[in-house]
Amino acid sequence: MTGAETGMKTRSREFRWPVRVYYEDTDAAGLVYHSNYLKFMERARTEWLRHLGHSQEELRRQAGIILVVRRLDIQFLRPARIDQLLDVVARIKHCGGASLLFEQTVCNTGAETLCNAQVEIACIDAVTLKPRRLPEFIREELDHVH
């Protein structure tokens, strides 16, 4: 069953993606290893983009852009454990000329925040790797999801 079938939700500029914690996500203590929270957040942002009707590869090939993490500020508040179902939220806080600022949280099924982050995404040219304005069609879609 895909995340879309298991309860993906979207409203305004917020997107939710369910993630199950597997053995491979944990460390020797049975807790989610810190770098895996970044993977969970990346999945939520990627699925948000897919929900809007785009894939990373399509944007690279057809629009000539790549969306990359420019800056990240993360706080780990509580541990997640094996077999837990997590709710990963990606909320757009700001849309700039060539960037998006996401506020992301990872919560357990009790709605307890386990981890939160501010993630700045830069839009860059797929060939030159220099900053490039977000395409107008993405801006228009963001205007329709408020």
Scored b (16 or more CB within 10 A) or e, 90-123 reads bbbeeeeebbbbbbbbbbbeeeeebbbbebbbbb
Residue 143 among the catalytic residues: no
Instruction: Tell me the C-alpha to C-alpha distance, in Å, between residue 80 and each of 32, 97, 140.
Output: 5, 36, 36
Tokens linked to 25: 């996500």
* Catalytic, out of 25, 27, 125, 143: 27
Active site residues: 27
